[in-house]
Structure 1
Amino acid sequence: MAGKLKIVFIGNSIINGFPYDRNQEFVSLYRDASGNDVINKGVNGDTVRGVMGRFSQDVLAEKPDIVIILVGTNEFIYKEASPEQCMKDIINLIELAQNQGIEPVLMTPIPLEPTMAKSRWMVCDDVDYEEVQQQIIQLKKQINTYGRENHIRVIDAYYAFSEFVSMVGEQTAYYDGIHPTREGHRFLAEIVGNFL
């Protein structure tokens, strides 16, 4: 696709850039680097059901060329959905976009650092971050398989961020075991830029 693209990023706090200002998250960094018309529709704590509820207003009404969808961590932390349920809802979003001539691009959720998440994020006994990590891995596999079989482009942020963590270390990559640091956001912006 040549020329300036209009792209909506929709999803959870990773898109929104928690805990940093909006201009420091990877979506804004990508917009600045690419010159594309980029709209951030990230909401802290959001799930795929939340995205579904606002998809018409936040994506379809904007008439973008591309929508980039990132969900699938809060669902498991809050025990709202299994990976299979989450994938079904993602497929619904894909179809909604395609029906309006919008290309859906999926991002896999980034990995957690369970020990850090337990001490720095939600310190409560009923969240098993090891289990959440396994569910993220299951969803990542389903997203990649669906993308391959249905010709949907996938940004495997899980794989890329895992490589980033192995290079720079957990303290540099993670703010709290769930959300990226500023360095992590800069890395994600590069990944998205290279992909698109």
Structure 2
Amino acid sequence: MNTTKLLCIGDSLTYGYEMEPSKRWTNLLEKSLDIKVFNYGINGDTASGMLSRFMNKLIEVKPTHTLIFGGTNDLWFGLKDEHIISNIYAMTKQAVYANSIPIIGIPTPSFNLNELNFVGEDYSECIRSFQQILINHCINKDTHYIHFSKSMTQDCFMDDGIHYNAHGHQVMASLVQDKLETII
């Protein structure tokens, strides 16, 4: 087995909401690259929740690479972009400190175009706006990132328009694999 260890931290999009474990993108990736992938996604988690448990996972796993992929639940609750970015930035700094190469996952879109978030904002638009802010942050901080939206079309999602179906998990695994192969 390859010595690469990837720690994935996030929410339901990392965990694999309602997906059989063998079809989750993290498991597909582990099998295709012959690396160890640690899935620390929690359904409903926020960037604050991710940050609160992140350092312990870094110490426990000692990953060579870390994928930080969250923020959509924060946006649903109406939290401001700056708050989310500060938590993601703190995790990237912790990853570097732990000698792990951080990679930021740019959130996928919401295809539930009529959904309002907790504070009455257009949820899809909040995600679109946040995607660009997070990309700019990654460019400014010279941090690796994966723009998941580029290949994630509506046929990759469950009926809720947010979570991935089996096809979406395959696409996600392929995108992460492509990125890891360029870094490793």
Q: 1:129-181 CA distances to partner (integer Å, 9 max, x unpaired)? A: x72222222221122112222221000012232xxx1xxxx3x3211211011
Q: Distance in 2 between matches of 1:98 and 1:125?
A: 33
- Hey, what does 1:177 align to over in structure 2? 161
Q: Distance in 1 between matches of 2:130 and 2:97?
A: 24
Q: Distance in 2 between matches of 1:42 and 1:137?
A: 22
Are 1:85 and 2:76 an aligned pair?
no
Q: Distance in 2 between matches of 1:134 and 1:65?
A: 34
**CA RMSD between the two structures:** 1.9
Q: Matches of residues 93-132 of structure 1 in structure 2 within 5 Å?
A: 93-115=91-113, 118=115, 126=118, 128=120, 131-132=122-123
Instruction: Kindly indicate whether the alpha-carbon contact (under 8 Å) linking 2:76 and 2:117 is maintained by their aligned counterparts in 1.
Output: no
Q: Distance in 2 between matches of 1:71 and 1:85?
A: 12
Are 1:150 and 2:141 an aligned pair?
yes
TM score, norm. by length of structure 2: 0.89
Deviation at 1:126, TM superposition (A): 4.9
* Structure holding more helix per residue: 1
- Hey, what does 1:121 align to over in structure 2? none
- Hey, what does 2:72 align to over in structure 1? 73
- Hey, what does 1:160 align to over in structure 2? 151
- Hey, what does 2:53 align to over in structure 1? 54
**Which runs of 5 or more residues in structure 1 are unaligned?**
119-123
Q: Matches of residues 10-49 of structure 1 in structure 2 within 5 Å?
A: 10-49=9-48
Q: Distance in 2 between matches of 1:18 and 1:127?
A: 24
Deviation at 1:45, TM superposition (A): 0.4
* CA 1:125–1:40: 2 relative to 1, 3 Å: closer
SS in 2 for 1:183: helix
Instruction: Kindly indicate whether the alpha-carbon contact (under 8 Å) linking 1:13 and 1:46 is maintained by their aligned counterparts in 2.
Output: yes
- Structure 1 segments, 4+ long, off by >6 Å, are none
Q: Distance in 2 between matches of 1:134 and 1:15?
A: 21
Q: 1:100-154 CA distances to partner (integer Å, 9 max, x unpaired)? A: 2111100001000124x74xxxxx89575x7222222222112211222222100
SS in 2 for 1:28: helix
